[in-house]
Structure 1
Amino acid sequence: MPNRPASDTIPPRIRRSQAISLVLLVVCGVINYLDRATLAVANEYIRADLGLTLGEMGVLLSAFSWSYALCQLPVGILVDKVGPRWLLGIGLVVWSLAQAAGGLAATFGWFLVVRIALGIGEAPQFPAAARVVSNWFPARSRGTPTGIFNSASPLGVALAPLCLPPLIAATSWHWAFFVTGALGIVAAIAWIGIYRDPVRDSLTAAERAYLEVDDAGQPAPPGGLATWRALFRYRATWGMMLGFFGSVYLNWVFLTWLPGYLRTERHMDLAQAGIAASIPFLCGFAGALVAGWASDRVARMSASKVAGRRNAVVVATLGMVAFTIPAALAESNVVAVACISIVIFLANASSACAWSLATVVAPPSGVGSLGALQNFGGFLGGALAPVLTGYIAQTWSFVPALLTGAAMAFAGAMSYLFLVVRPIPELEAQLK
């Protein structure tokens, strides 16, 4: 039987800090995804105004993912060393200035630079969020808050086509970048001004008992480059990187190609495709919330905190595979959209469970580092998905493109299942 927690009662000051942290993370996360989606929403206006080709727009759409993925490597070290307050705050300022600068773009080269800068600035968001959850929530209760902060992703994607087109129609595409950039600056001020990490010396005995900072009841030592390097010795690290590659690849097939797929392969008109493309991401918002709550319940019933959360990731990812196949092969558009909605629901459930898994697999000093490495693997898949999907669809059709995504996700699920078996021990003693 799993060990019972030392305390199930949340001290009032801890509860207040948890609530404030999650509200701030969700607000920042929604802005994060609004900024990512602005270029896609304003695609046609920008191409017409700047005279860009489809190929050039494809490069702009992919530039963010490559810089974002590569920056996960140093960000993991920094979030454990510097802490989430200042790293995320600085990231917010950088990405918001880059977003606003997009509104000033008059050439392809300028836009390419600001999209790369956007990826660099947004890189700390989710590793910092994972660190916040590990700081303020005990291991037994991290699934629900992880699901909450992950729900900002599909919520931002769903809000973008609702909020930005009226703004663009009333002004111009430039103002979509100016306004979302300004929102990010306001969020940066709020984050830095309000959020604080727990300080052990200021906690009461009851607060320390609830948080259970680590198994020995001691605060986690700060991480660093040596801790980050040592993580690569463990197969769990590689399993999480490969596993997230597969699930994010399939998710980004739909994230980047769903409207085009519905219009090209399913022959929907613009209005039909717009409505049909919004439904799956609203389902994804629900998926992140439900998965967080469910993974906590599974983890509490499991003899191993790692196995419980890992199995939740595996089941959700295999579900993505199972529903992608009929989505690709079904003749009915209604059936296809219904299956895609379930895939996006499960994709966000898988993502939420994967981030909560990082908080229990990682050593206390390496939560941000391991979360960022997993995210690095994921966004290599996210960067590859739109390019490979477009090539396959152009050469054959979207059916083999979707089935390729399903195969990637299946391989990812197997990586989680067979490689992520036990937690990584604290590395401090090994590094002396």
Structure 2
Amino acid sequence: MKATVTQNTYSSMTPWKMLAWLFATQVLVAFVGRSLAPLGVLIGHDLSLTKAQIGMLPAALFLGQSIAAIPVGYVTDQLGSKRLLLALAVCLGASFMFMTLTSFFILVLIMITVGGLGYGAMHPVSNRGIMYWFTARTRGTAMGIKQMGVTLGSALAALVLLPLANAFGWRPVLLGAGLLLIVVGYLTYLFYYDPPRENEIRKTNRGGFFASMKVMLRHKPLLLVSLAAVGLQGSQMMLNTYLVLFAYEKLAISLVLAGVLLVISEIGGSFGRVGWGVISDRIFNGRRLIILMLISIFAGFISIVISQLPTGTSFGVMAVITFIFGFCIAGFNGVWMNAATELVPREQSGAASGFSIMIGSWGVILGPPLFGLIVDKTGSFSAGWIFLSGILIVVIMLLLVAMTLVKKTNDNPKPSQLNY
């Protein structure tokens, strides 16, 4: 079922229809990939894993993401998004389905890592689609909607998969989730298509992989934004990892309500991914780096406020603070993806997205352990939250330098670069 698409078949709604398929795939990719967190306890019980081994499950996923980000970004620039959307759905869905057939921990980790290749491929593949379907004035909103699929899929995994797995076992439930992802991936392959102008550009832009990477490494603004993403990604994972423990152990909030705070932060992040995109499009005329700076400033301030909260702080007060914190630090992703892809020519957007994701992924790997080490050494969560705010100060400095470089090098900027 292949439709021949010409420029004349476009309508004003076509980009949004394509976004709907990108969003659906993003939700299912997160639904399956992020299932490791809520299902970790059940998987650990079934396989007799230690807590450290349970922690290795999501780490394996992000390892796969880090490995895949750059090469998939390059391949996306050559092949477009359509075929790769199906490929990544099959990669993630099938690997998790095979994972349910083994009880050997090492094989489980290998399958998760393979699945991480598909999980990590979703960002450069879908980001390139948005780059070509949307203009600079609507791209932030579109990217925010697409990125909201990550938090929505993650929330659905906790709300749907965990109760089902508790009732029927994690293996059949995860098997079904993987199959559902493949089905949605196939439907997306049938109904999503790349714009004709993208196909024309790909035919004339087939540079080598290493040449493409040299361009990325030499692009100082892109490198600086990617390094800033290390701090932002790390800060987001610090919040996700330690919010429940902080609320329970430091603020004396019940464990159930502490868990609700994590859900509130995810809800805030969902609103933030769309909200910051709309703000950057409508109020700041597409200026992404300024938005990232504002996010860092607000989140850094909130982190300092949290560090000073006394024992006995009410759930209501913490809920408001957590929502705002999540809106900022879990809502930056869409703006980051726009910033990374808009800093380079559109024909390099896939490589730029993969490059930035690969570097930014180190924040997920390094951030939470450093936060935990500081809390262990000082015996105080306050030191950890202050450390987080310090990281965001560094992020602000990196973004300031990036903005200065872009301003100097773009004497005759392209429309998509006017707003930095």
Find the counterpart in structure 2 of residue 56 from structure 1.
53
* Of 38-47 and 246-255, the range deviating more from structure 2: 38-47
User: Map of 1:250-329 to 2, 5 A cutoff?
Assistant: 250-300=235-285, 308-329=287-308
Name the counterpart of 1:229.
214
CA distance in 2, matches of 1:14, 1:221: 27
Q: Is 1:400 matched up with 2:379?
A: no
**What CA deviation, in whole Å up to 9, does each residue of 1:372-422 have, x standing for no partner?**
222112211012223223333333343322322222222122212212442
1:109 is the counterpart of 2:89 = no
- How far apart, CA to CA, are the structure 2 residues paired with 1:254 and 1:224? 39
User: What do residues 269-313 of structure 1 show as CA deviations (whole Å, max 9, x unaligned)?
Assistant: 34222322211111111111111111112343xxxx6xx221011
Superposition deviation, residue 234 in structure 1: 2.0
Is 1:45 the counterpart of 2:30 in the alignment? no
1:119 matches 2:116 = yes
Give the whole-Å Cα distance in 2 for the aligned partners of 1:318 and 1:176.
41
Inter-partner Cα distance in structure 2 for 1:17 and 1:219: 23
Contact 2:131–2:349 (8 Å) recurs in 1: yes
Give 2:352's aligned residue. 370
Cα distance in 2 between the residues matched to 1:407 and 1:88: 38
Q: Is the alpha carbon distance of 1:125 and 1:417 closer, same or farther for their aligned partners in structure 2, counting shifts above 3 Å?
A: same
CA distance in 2, matches of 1:222, 1:297: 35
CA distance in 2, matches of 1:179, 1:173: 10
Shift of 1:158: 2.2
In structure 1, what is the equivalent of residue 171 of structure 2? 174
* AA at the equivalent of 1:295: S
The residue correspondences of 1:344-355 to structure 2 (distance < 5 A) are 344-355=326-337
How many Å apart are 1:125 and its aligned residue? 0.7
**2:78, 2:205 within 8 Å by CA — same for their partners in 1?**
no
Question: Which TM-score applies when normalising by structure 1?
Answer: 0.85
Aligned partner of 1:96 in structure 2 is 93
- Unaligned stretches of 5+ residues in structure 1: 1-9, 204-212, 427-432
How big is the shift at 1:248? Answer: 0.7
2:243, 2:261 within 8 Å by CA — same for their partners in 1?
no
How many residues matched? Answer: 398
- The farther-off stretch of 331-340 and 65-74 is 331-340
SS in 1 for 2:95: helix
CA contact 2:240–2:262 (8 Å) conserved in 1:
no
Moved more, 321-330 or 392-401: 392-401
Q: 2:159 maps to which residue?
A: 162
Distance, in Å, in 2 between the alignment partners of 1:37 and 1:51 is 21
Instruction: Tell me the residue number matched to 1:418.
Output: 401
Contact residue 95 and residue 121 of structure 1 kept, 8 A = yes
Match of 2:324 among 328, 336, 342: 342
- Structure 1 201/195 Cα, relative in aligned 2: closer, same or farther at 3 Å? closer
Please state how far the C-alpha of 1:147 moved relative to its aligned partner. Answer: 0.9
Q: Give the RMSD, CA atoms, in angstroms.
A: 2.6
- Structure 2 unmatched runs, 5+: 1-6, 415-420
Alpha-carbon distance between aligned partners in 2 of 1:81 and 1:224, rounded to the nearest angstrom:
10
Please give the residue correspondences for 1:140-151 in structure 2 after superposition, counting only pairs within 5 Å: 140-151=137-148
In 2 relative to 1, CA 192–126 (structure 1 residues): closer, same or farther, beyond 3 Å? same
State the alpha-carbon separation in 2 of the partners of residues 398 and 106 from structure 1. Answer: 37
The percentage of aligned residue pairs carrying the same residue is 24
> How many angstroms does 1:24 deviate by?
1.3
1:330 to 287, 309, 326: 309
> Is the contact between residue 241 and residue 374 of structure 1 (CA under 8 Å) also seen in structure 2?
yes
| Aligned amino acid, residue 246 of structure 1 | G
For each residue in 1:326-366, what CA deviation from the matched residue of structure 2 results, as whole angstroms up to 9, or x when unmatched? Answer: 12321214333422221211124322211122232111221
Give the AA of the match of 1:312: I
The reply to whether residue 244 of structure 1 matches residue 229 of structure 2 is yes
**Which residue in the other structure is 1:83 paired with?**
80
Post-superposition CA distance 1:183-231 (Å, at most 9, x none): 211111012111111113999xxxxxxxxx9xxxx99845542233212
Equivalent residue letter for 2:38? V
CA 1:103 to 1:148, structure 2 compared with 1: closer, same or farther past 3 Å?
A: same
Q: Which amino acid aligns with 1:328?
A: S
Letter in 2 for 1:230: V
Is 118-127 or 14-23 further displaced after alignment?
A: 14-23
Alpha carbons 2:31, 2:156 under 8 Å: kept = yes
TM-score of the two chains, using structure 2 as the length reference: 0.87
